[in-house]
Structure 1
């Protein structure tokens, strides 16, 4: 038996339509099976599709399950912001300044301020230096020389990111990944922007996973922020640019407040209606 569900498709990390990272959100999804969720996420073929559910934790405002076309993720960044935006839009007028999201990775705080959302970066599941064998494979898969890499670190908060710091924005933009060589690694690259780059951002990022480039990636930005701020390489507040090579103009705000690092950006609704599943 099929059922109808409210549905929105939103653009995350951009206030300009079509310049961020799209996300499909299915509401009131408690009656859907795992197989139905997985099948719809595979059908949308977006990097992620989310399903809004009633929370199982008394502390949470809602629960979300996050699917790629190939499986489920415990946490992801742009789905967190996009799903929260949709949930808030269904609450009517709200004076909430913080929302608590339940996902497979646990409880994630989302801050609401001036029409923008930001999530508190979850703890890294794996951090620290990258072993020589992994680094060699990743560098080869990105077509880089070892000399081009300033540093490398695991920044895994769920998806499994391994991240490289390069010397310049140009080095980041010039990467042409060889996915068969890259294998199953999910790789993020970052570099500082200079005055000569003439861009209103402090860092340029790119993300490569599962044979494609992700336009704007919240989880990667969170992991890289924890790494670079923790090492004193990045300031406590900065803006990251992502998606440039893909014709996007994603902007991710990063702010360290106390012990928390907040990853934020705009969310724009592009499609709204119902979906039959």
Structure 2
């Protein structure tokens, strides 16, 4: 099976968020796909299957589980599809299907990299967390309640994966997951993952729910954050929002996003560069 190693949310390799993109050449069971992901040791690996009616089905795995949606794997997949199947075009529209959902991408060739825009669709505002729960959340993240920014609410927002968005006015670098059942705590609020952010700099952090691995740049969380900032009046519809991540793992990355307001409602878009690092073959 052919695979590519790309770096997402960076215009040059050895920066941004690494990703393995695999083209399966036969039917592979769930456990083997998970094992391949664990062997690759990236935060996520995406498997691209042959197109069906000009739509490319994908499956996305972390080292722990399969996801129905993820940001940087889908953007990275868009660039790899562009390079492999539309090499004669500088710009191309690509449709990807993940867990039955169609995701629209636009990929443009930019010198040695590609710039990919993802339409994440309409955001879902799931829940605003009551102040009475703040102490519980602070404790499991190695924080004090005074670290939370009082002018920004804690909310759960989704454009495919529900994130608990937590604004911090200080101690972003101190934050970490300190309990083994963090996913159970999040589930009580209807969230899958957590996304901490500094409202002033828009530097952000997130981890796997065991707290073992910090993600470098998270497109599936950046979309909800853009929607949150616009909904609460901190940013405007149509304004390009620069989100930063990866500072604390020495892989600084920039994610760009915006909320577009049309006749059928608001939609979230995420944009990022994709650089190619390597190509190879898997013997499975």
- Normalised-by-shorter TM-score class: 0.7 to 0.9
1:130 paired residue number: 129
Task: Quote the residue 1:221 is aligned against.
Answer: 222
Do the aligned partners of 1:117 and 1:266 also contact (CA within 8 Å) in 2?
yes
Which residue of the partner structure matches residue 262 of structure 1?
269
Shift of 1:133: 6.8
Aligned equivalent of 1:19, options 15, 18, 25:
15
Give, in angstroms, the shift of residue 37 of structure 1: 1.1
Shift of 1:224: 0.9
- Cα RMSD between the aligned structures? 2.2
Segment drifting more, 96-105 vs 16-25: 96-105
TM-score (norm: length of structure 2): 0.83
Pair 1:6-2:2 in alignment: yes
Deviation by residue 1:235-258 (Cα, 9 ceiling, x = unmatched): 421211100011111001112333
State the Cα deviation string for residues 132-163 of structure 1 (Å, max 9, x = none): 67643321122222233232000234444211
SS in 1 for 2:69: coil
Unaligned ranges ≥5, structure 2: 187-192
Distance change (3 Å), C-alpha of 1:160 and 1:179: farther
**2:42 aligned counterpart, secondary structure:** coil
Cα deviation, 1:50-105, whole Å, max 9, x if unaligned, reads 1001345x3x5311100111111000000010111111111121254422111116
Q: Distance in 1 between matches of 2:195 and 2:166?
A: 6
Name the structure 1 match of 2:190: none
Higher mean C-alpha displacement, 43-52 vs 115-124: 115-124
CA contact (8 A) 1:52 1:64 kept: yes
The count of residues paired between Structure 1 and Structure 2 equals: 260
- The secondary structure found in structure 2 opposite 1:270 is strand
Q: What SS class does the counterpart of residue 15 from structure 1 fall into?
A: coil
Give the match for residue 183 of structure 1.
Answer: 182
Distance 1:209 1:262 in 2: 24
Preserved contact between residue 8 and residue 76 of structure 2 (Cα < 8 Å): yes
Call closer, same or farther: CA 1:106–1:29 in 2, change over 3 Å.
farther
Deviation at 1:30, TM superposition (A): 4.9
Output the CA distance in 1 between the equivalents of 2:57 and 2:74.
10
Give, in whole Å, the separation in 2 of the partners of 1:241 and 1:191: 10
Q: Unmatched 5+ residue regions in structure 1?
A: 194-201
Instruction: Give, in whole Å, the separation in 2 of the partners of 1:126 and 1:260.
Output: 13
Call closer, same or farther: CA 1:122–1:30 in 2, change over 3 Å. Answer: farther
